[in-house]
Structure formats: structure tokens, C-alpha cells
Amino acid sequence: MKIVVQRVNEASVTYENTTNSIKKGICVLVGIRTDDFDMDTDYIISKIINMRLWDDGDKTWCKSVMDIDGEILIVSQFTLYGFMKGHKPDFHNSINNEDLMMDTFDVLFQQLDKVPSLFYLFLILFPFSIYFLIKGTLSINDG
């Protein structure tokens, strides 16, 4: 499993005329590989909620998204495991089975549900069915 974390002042994803948005917090792009396991989600969740990205006065990098009562927007991104094969992108390392992908995300969200006082939104897109229906992504980065 691979993630890209962006500290944001706000972020949103619009899909089929529905917009999911957050205020201050983090936007997390999640890529799932064909050989990822459930145990990977524990590690990823720990990193997401404990990553220290905010300052506290004179102390730098000492507060997490939980410490600032921030929000999390999670978006599936199968292209994170893409690579260039000649002049074309290749996504064979990305998960290509919708059921397996949904199972992995279910475990991820079950872990997030255990975290008290955490607000998160998610958008799961299977690359070959509804990926191209996204109408827009907005991320106003912080820093």
C-alpha cells in the first residue's frame, strides 16, 4: 500500500454531482498493490493519524491531524503504482480486482472507525469502471 499525504486548508472531490469536502486537515491518496495485506492497513492508519505535520508556537512538526482536530479526505488512486513502460504508463502493479480493492478499503475504514473523534471522508474509485467520472479535485495545500 502506498499513500501520498498532503496537508491542506481545504480539499474536495466532486463525483457524479456530489462533492465531498473537508476543511483543515490532510488529503490522503491511497494506492493498493496486488499483494497488499490487511496488516498493511494498521501501519498506514498509524502513520496517517500520528504524522506530525503542524507547528505549535516555537516547536515545529509536533502536532498531528488528531491534535489539531483536523479532518481527513481519503481518495483511492490506482496510479500510485504506475510506472512508465517505454512511452506508455503501465498499471499492472496496481490492484485490478474490484472485490479485492473493496475488501482492502473496508479493512482500512474499519480501522479508522476505531479512532475516537476522527472525521474522515472517502471516495473509492475502481480504475476501470468509474474513475473517469470524477469531475474535479480541489486541494488548497497548507505549506
Distances in Å between the Cα of 12 and the Cα atoms of 16, 26, 61, 72, 74 are 13, 11, 25, 10, 10
Distances in Å between the Cα of 36 and the Cα atoms of 13, 56, 61, 118 are 25, 36, 30, 25
Q: Which residues are catalytic?
A: 77-79
Each residue's pLDDT tens digit, 69-123: 999 988 888 888 888 999 998 888 888 777 777 788 888 888 888 888 787 777 6
pTM: 0.82
CB 29 within 8 A of CB 77: yes
The whole-number pLDDT of residue 126 equals 52
Beta carbons within 10 angstroms of residue 62's beta carbon: 13
The CATH label, of 1.20.210.10, 3.40.190.10, 3.50.80.10, 3.40.50.150, for the domain at 2-141 is 3.50.80.10
